[in-house]
Amino acid sequence: MEKVLDVKDLHVSFDLHAGEVQAVRGVDFHLEKGETLAIVGESGSGKSVTTKALMRLIPNPPGRIKQGQILFDGRDLAHLSEREMEKIRGKEMSMIFQDPMTSLNPTMKIGKQIMEPLMKHQKLSKQEAHKRAAELLVLVGLQNPEMRMKQFPHQFSGGQRQRIVIAIALACNPKVLIADEPTTALDVTIQAQILELMKELQKKIDTAIIFITHDLGVVANVADRVAVMYGGQIVETGTVDEIFYDPRHPYTWGLLSSMPSPDTDHEAELRAIPGTPPDLINPPKGDAFALRSEYAMAIDFEQEPPLYKVSDTHFVKSWLLHEQAPHVEPPEIVKLQRRSMPGNYEKPVLAGEGVDNG
């Protein structure tokens, strides 16, 4: 498969009064052409900061990309000038946000907002851009484009606004689309429509999508691969089946079992993950999740775990996969869904130096 994006050892920090917040602490992942990678994790896990760094949308100061590479099309985005970045943003990579009302300009007719990237990046004339904008509106399922283009954002419903934002994001057929919780503010029925729309458009223009969400149902629906983030690091990556049917990291277990499944007994207590996410000004030594994990071992408080490979596509950052680690049983909900994956190695191996991860 062809890689469109390759992120290597990315570190992002914010210099605040209280100290340096290490929001992203060494993230590696790649994105293949036409696939959907879901990034999951709770607030503060660094998922939004990671993707904003890819678009170079981290405000500086206080934020900065401290270290690492973002390879896109043979170039390292981490070191491009703002001017060069402007040519990529909205053209080759675009982003949609959670709240469609705040990402649209309330004082500008939506026709003009869709035409803007077309005229700027694709150098279309006004007439051409107008025609293309009307086509895009039809493509995202809005009827009567000529009339609609003359309207303002407040004249649309939440779902319609998100469709418009998607139309703008896809106007220049980007290679990468980053969707940051695009359906969280929407109702389930509208959410289903938007997800269907995104999948359909992805097929048409072969865009790779990075999908950030904390709704695991949505992940199971859209993702080809999943990356689980915790405390500014990716703790587990794998194909969608590997993450849901053979998860190995205790944090992934925690996420999966904190949601009630349709068969969860009414009387049973949900397995909430106790505590709160770690303080990233003073990141914990060792495994960041150890403080909240019932599976934590002595070494988790001492030394950061290495990355283990469970299959060609499945990577886990946990000492539990060490050959001397005791055998532990995952929570009930995880065990109910568990099955063995065909691609698994006989036993986990260390992901060695230079081995591409995830």
Partner 1 sequence: MDKLLEIKGLKQYFNEGKPNMVKAVDDVSFDIYKGETLGLVGESGCGKSTTGRTMIRLYDATDGQVLFNGENVHGKKSRKELMQFNRKMQMIFQDPYASLNPRMKVADIIAEGIDIHGLAKSKEERMKKVYELLETVGLNQEHASRYPHEFSGGQRQRLGIARALAVEPDFIIADEPISALDVSIQAQVVNLMKKLQKEKGLTYLFIAHDLSMVKYISDRIGVMYFGKLVELAPSDVLYKNPLHPYTKSLLSAIPLPDPDYERSRTRKVYSPDVHGYSADDVVEMREVAPGHYVYCSEKEMKKYQETYETAR
- Residues in contact with partner 1 by CB under 8 A are 42-43, 158, 187-192, 195-196, 214-221, 240-241, 244-245, 254-256, 258-262, 264, 266, 269-274, 276, 337
User: Which is closer to partner 1, CB of 149 or CB of 223?
Assistant: 223
Nearest CB to partner 1, comparing residues 133 and 216: 216
Closer to partner 1 at the Cβ: 272 or 326?
Answer: 272
* Comparison of 195 and 307: residue with beta carbon closer to partner 1: 195
The closest alpha carbon to 18, from 222, 339, 279, belongs to 279
Please say which residue, 189 or 324, places its beta carbon nearer to partner 1: 189
**Minimal distance in Å, beta carbon 237 to partner 1?**
15
Q: Which pairs with CB-CB distance under 8 Å and at least 24 residues apart come from 103-108?
A: 103/165, 104/153, 104/161, 104/164, 104/165, 105/153, 106/152, 106/153, 106/154, 107/152, 108/152
> Minimum CB separation from partner 1 for residue 255, in Å?
6
For residue 223, the minimal CB distance to partner 1 (Å) is 8
What distance in Å separates the CA atoms of residue 171 and residue 123, rounded to the nearest whole number? 12
Residue with Cβ nearer partner 1 (283 or 306): 283
ω into 145 cis (within 30 of 0): no
332: enclosing H helix or E strand: helix 332-337
Instruction: Name the minimum Å distance from CB 187 to partner 1.
Output: 4
| Closer by beta carbon to partner 1, 115 or else 229 | 229
Q: How far apart are CA 181 and CA 309, in angstroms?
A: 29
> Smallest Cα–Cα separation from 355: which of 311, 322, 325?
311
Other beta carbons less than 10 A from residue 84's beta carbon:
13
User: What single-letter DSSP state applies at residue 89?
Assistant: B
- Residue 206 CB, nearest distance to partner 1 (Å)? 21
Q: How far apart are CA 286 and CA 189, in angstroms?
A: 43
In whole angstroms, the minimum distance from the beta carbon of 254 to partner 1 comes to: 6
Q: Considering the complex, what minimum distance in angstroms separates the CB of residue 160 from partner 1?
A: 13
Task: Give the nearer residue to partner 1 in terms of CB position, either 79 or 203.
Answer: 203
Half-sphere exposure of 27 (CA within 13 A, CB side): 34
Cβ proximity to partner 1: between 244 and 315 the closer is 244
Distance CA 39, CA 227 (A): 5
Neighbours of 206 (CB within 10 A): 12
Structure tokens at 318: 């946990």
Alpha helices in 122-207 (DSSP H): 126-139, 145-148, 158-170, 188-205
Least distance CB 235 / partner 1 (angstroms):
14
d(CA 253, CA 257): 6
Rounded least distance, CB 264 to partner 1, Å: 6
Nearest Cα residue to 61 out of 11, 16, 10, 9 = 16
